[in-house]
Chains A and B, each alone.
Chain A
Amino acid sequence: MTDRDDLLVQDFFRQAARQQIEDDGFTERVMQRLPRTDSYKVHRLTQLWTVFCVAVGIALFFAFDGWEVLKASMLTLFSTSVTAVEVFFTTAPTTEVHLNPWMILLVVGFVLVYLPYQTARKLSATL
């Protein structure tokens, strides 16, 4: 095999290497033929299990008079919050709190910029 032969063969295939085949609906045909896989079944079972748990939760909620429990919990939470605010206002004037403005800026930036950006990025990659 001489270099000349090698070049001859390479030249012959060069044009074929550049050939691109148009999709012409091939991808759609493949996507339509994709089978449902095991993980699809698992996903479906997970959804059914979630629906079952929610239904059981709702049934138990009404069976054990959930509204009263919820009302009592909300009242307790409210009174605790009010007490906490009262304590804060009573003790605040005598308490020295050192706040670093850069730290506040960092936290605000993290919450308002970084978290929404990351969430949007991950959602766009998933959907």
Chain B
Amino acid sequence: MADLNDISLVTQVAVFRNKKAFDQLVRKYQSPVRRFFLNQTLGNEQLSDDLAQETFIKAYVNITKFRGLSSFSTWLMRIAYNVFYDHKRSSKREECGVRSVEGEGGYDPQRNLQSEYSPSSLHTPPSTLKMDIHQALAQLKPDERACITLQLIDGYPIGEISKITGIAENTVKSHLKRGKEKMANYLRQNGYDR
């Protein structure tokens, strides 16, 4: 029923450019989309909101490309995932430029991501729970983090995660397995198993 309602709203946006219908879609999905970005950026609220805005604007501009083969939320999360990776690529490029100017070789993308989105660089002081989760997520590689959060926080099954990320299902399973092992080790080391 929720999907039918979404399709009805999407049709109104696509055919009549009905902004009220799009407003309803944004209200409905702002929380999961912003939460997804918060988790990928390890709690950077300002950046998350900027990326979430970009996601919804891209969804609005390309809404006629939505064919209804998957649910609207999966389609929207795929855009969100692509927006995040575009942002990551562009910030890597900027970082590379800065490093080459400074004469520092040996660019490490993982280190770059960790430093850019480290929990200590949060713009606003988060709650203890948020800090814990973002510190834990910082232990993961970006793809592992995306797969883990999409499954354990957003509740997507492996097939949907594969559609959202464009990663093969077996690779998604590997990311989930490795990510969960790292998480379990981190949680045990920090006394969460007591």
By a beta-carbon cutoff of 8 Å, the part of chain A in contact with chain B is 1, 4-6, 8-10, 12-13, 15-17, 19-21, 23, 26-27, 29-31, 33-35, 37, 39-40, 43, 125-127
Contacts and interface: CB of A to CB of B under 8 A. Distances in A.
Nearest to B8: A125
A27 B60 CA distance: 13
A17 B152 contact: yes
A35 B192 contact: no
A17 B155 contact: yes
A10 B61 CA distance: 37
A26 B52 contact: yes
A1 to B, nearest CB: 5
A32 to B, nearest CB: 10
Contact of A33 (B34, B53, B148, B187): B53
List the 5 shortest-distance A-B pairs measured between CB atoms, nearest first: A5-B184, A13-B152, A21-B31, A27-B26, A9-B183
A12 B22 contact: no
B27 A23 contact: yes
B17 A37 contact: yes
A26 B34 contact: yes
B73 interface: no
Interface of A is mostly: helix
Given A8-B192, A30-B56, A126-B18, A15 B129 contact: yes
A19 B35 contact: yes
B136 interface: yes
B187 A21 contact: no
B193 A8 contact: yes
Contact of B153 (A4, A13, A29): A13
Contacts of B26: 26-27, 30-31
A13 B192 CA distance: 12
A9 B184 contact: yes
A9 B144 CA distance: 14
Contacts of B20: 127
B6 to A, nearest CB: 14
B17 A40 contact: yes
Contacts of A12: 133, 136, 183, 187, 192
A39 to B, nearest CB: 6
15 contacts: A6-B184, A9-B187, A12-B192, A13-B133, A13-B148, A16-B129, A16-B133, A26-B30, A29-B53, A30-B53, A35-B57, A35-B60, A37-B17, A125-B12, A126-B16
